Structure 1
């Protein structure tokens, strides 16, 4: 077996274990839905360009168009912390507070599943 292959794999596994995922569950006020989408659309493109951002997406709950979830993925916690201290986060957070009925923010570190079990 090639020792470099194992080293590469464990480096890749370690990188994945550092991945930070932020979830923001939002119920938008129906009268502010259009404004919310305009704001999130504009700021999402800026967030996707931030260093360490793997992805940043908005999901709508089936059957409830005002129930949404923002999901951001970051290379590691340090990049997420940099993002959360920045201007784009402040704009997004302010918009969520003003345009939604309630907001719940939870941050989780993902772990890699190995052989079908969590690590």
Structure 2
């Protein structure tokens, strides 16, 4: 699985525009081949700091997304930001769920 975290420090007066742009893409992204999730989060301490989290099945799926017009739209929001997008791509080889919590708490 591939996890992408995109941080965006949005200009206060452009926050609504950026959020609307991203929300307009959510439906299409969730239906994109290999997309496991696509969600926007707002920082509780700084409402102008937004995080977009994407999960992809494979690197091939992510690469296709990075070449897409939809991702181009996201990159085009740079004029709404105080600094360039922060993009981190993480490759995850193993995931655990609640069973890991139970295993540790039962010890």
Q: Which of 65, 76, 79 does residue 83 from structure 1 map onto?
A: 65
* Segments of 4+ moved more than 6 angstroms: none
Tell me the SS of whatever aligns to 1:112.
coil
Name the CA distance, whole Å, in 2 between partners of 1:56 and 1:30: 23
How many residue pairs align between the two structures? 97
Tell me the SS of whatever aligns to 2:14.
helix
RMSD: 1.6
- Asked if 1:101 corresponds to 2:93, the answer is no
TM superposition score normalised by structure 2: 0.84
1 or 2, which has the higher strand percentage?
Answer: 1
5+ long unaligned stretches in structure 2: 97-102
TM superposition score normalised by structure 1: 0.76
Q: Which residue of 2 aligns with 1:52?
A: 34
Tell me the SS of whatever aligns to 2:70.
helix
Question: Within 5 Å, which residues of 2 pair with 1:1-119?
Answer: 19-95=1-77, 97-102=78-83, 103-112=85-94
Alpha-carbon distance, 1:90 to partner:
0.5
**Contact residue 43 and residue 92 of structure 1 kept, 8 A:** no
Alpha-carbon distance, 1:54 to partner:
0.2
Tell me the SS of whatever aligns to 2:48.
strand
Name the CA distance, whole Å, in 2 between partners of 1:113 and 1:65: 30
Alpha-carbon distance, 1:113 to partner:
5.2
